[in-house]
Amino acid sequence: MKNWFRHTIYIFSENPVSIFAVILFLLYVTMALVGHWLVPYDPYLTNTDIALQPPSVSHWFGTDHLGRDVFSRVVIATRMDLGIAFSAVALSALVGCTLGSLAGYFGGWADQIIGRFTDIVMAFPLFVLAMGLVAAMGNTVENIIYATALINIPFYIRVSRSEVSVRRNLPYVQAALQSGNSHFRALAMHIFPNTLPPLMVQLSLNSGWAILNAAGLSFIGLGVKPPEAEWGIMVAEGANYMISGEWWLVLFPGLVLMMAVFCFNLLGDSLRDIVDPLRRT
């Protein structure tokens, strides 16, 4: 365990940009976990008297059209957005990697069926499919998670399938079989751990994309329902006011959203390096 910790520190110290990404990531996670208790105002409390006030000392991000404090809402929206993203990615990675690994290793009809399924899902422009799914199932937070998970599964199937099939014929896998491992053991314990580095990058990029997806759905009214706070829906609600000059309703949620996705994109490479045995010295 101590080795892992030291190795992690080494990886991050090599690249200063990654330190920035980690700090940002920890900040977001903290906001998601304890944000609700730390915000200055009640995010749902409306007060039309102070509606549409620009940023000031008392309201750092200003107030929205219903008089709610934008800063408080942006902070608590973190839990919603990160929660949706992580749940969706975890679900799709679990299902996708299992299916993809089995398809890549055993081939045959399993590979054919899984391949056809992947082709069909990927035949849809992904956001459009998400729209259709959420529209059909109804917009609840669970459905957004399921829809986002479903459209992401093909990526994991493809990545793990290709990584597994490349390694399947390598001598060390043959050696593992010769040493008494069954095919399942060889796949799970020998091949799969070696596919983790590229997978890590995918997980990280995907998390960023899942957040954008959820926000996009909210923007067109298919996501989280008001008065819930979520970055996308805040931008949607503030869009009308942007054109008449009240820029703070859109800018702050949009910026915070962007920084979250940015942070995940930067983190991908570092996560891969932590997991990659070739980077250990």
Partner 1 sequence: MQARSFLDINRLSLEFKTRNGVVPVLDNVSMQLNKGEILGVVGESGSGKSVTAYSILNLNGNASTITAGSINFDGLLLHKPSSSLLRDIRGREISIIFQNPMSTLNPIRSVRDHLKDMLTAHAQSTQAGAEKKSLALLEQVKIRDPERVLDAYPYELSGGMCQRVVIALALACSPRLLIADEPTTGLDVTTQKAIMTLIRELALKHDVAVMLITHDLGMAAEYCKNIVVMEKGKVVEKGSVEKLFKAPEHAYTKKLIAATPTAQSELDDLTPDPMLIAKRLQITDDKILEVNNLHKLYGVKKGFSKKETFHAVKGVSFSIKRGECVGLVGESGCGKSTISRMVAKLDDLSDGHIIFDGEDIGSIKAKDFINSNMRKDIQMVFQDPSGSLNPRHTVFDAIVEPLKHLEKISDKKALHKRVLELCQQVDLDANLITRLPHQLSGGQKARVGIARAIAVNPKLVILDEPTSALDVSVQAIVLQLLEKLRHELGLSYLFVSHDLNVVRLFCQRVLVMCNGEIVEHGEVNDVFNMPTNKYTQALLDAIPHFSVNNL
Partner 2 sequence: MKNKLRLIGQRLLLAVPVIFGVVVISFLLTRALPGDPAVYFAGDMADEQSIQQTREKLGLDKSLPIQFMAYFNRLLEGDLGVSLSTGQSVLFELKSRLPASLELTLIGLGLALIIAVPLGILAAINPNSWIDHLCRILVTAGVSMPIFFTGLFLVFIFYYLLQVAPAPIGRLDFLFLPPPHVTGFYLIDAALANDWALFKAALHQLMLPAITLGIFALAPIARMTRGAMLVSLGSEYVKAATANGLPRKKVILIYAFKNAALPLLTTLGMVFSFLLGANVLVEKVFAWPGIGSFAIEALVASDYAAVQGFVLTMAMLFIFINLLIDMVYTLIDPRVGN
Binding-site ranges for partner 1 (CB under 8 A): 170-172, 174-183, 190, 193-194, 277-278, 280-281
Structural contact between residues 38 and 75, judged by C-beta atoms closer than 8 angstroms: yes
- Choose, by CB under 8 A, the member of 216, 228, 276, 279 that binds partner 2: 216
Of 225 and 280, CB closest to partner 1: 280
Q: Which does 107 bind (CB under 5 to 8 A by kind): partner 1, partner 2, none?
A: none
**128 touches partner 2 by CB under 8 A:** yes
Of 91 and 177, CB closest to partner 1: 177
For residue 222, give the DSSP letter: S
Q: Which does 28 bind (CB under 5 to 8 A by kind): partner 2, partner 1, none?
A: none
3-class state of residue 86 by DSSP = helix
- Nearest approach, Cβ of residue 216 and partner 2 (Å): 6
Which contacts (CB < 8 Å, 24+ apart) does range 48-56 have?
A: 52/241, 52/246, 52/249, 54/246, 54/248, 55/248
- Choose, by CB under 8 A, the member of 19, 113, 120, 170 that binds partner 2: 120
Neighbouring C-alpha atoms within 13 Å toward the C-beta of 7? 16
Residue with tokens 């008001």: 226
b/e map 140-175, b = 16+ CB within 10 Å: ebebbbbbbbbbbbbbbbbbbbebbbebbeeeebee
Enumerate binding residues for partner 2 (CB under 8 A).
116, 119-120, 122-133, 135-138, 205, 208, 212, 215-216, 219-222, 232, 235-236, 239, 242-243, 245, 247, 250-251, 254, 257-259, 261-262, 265-266
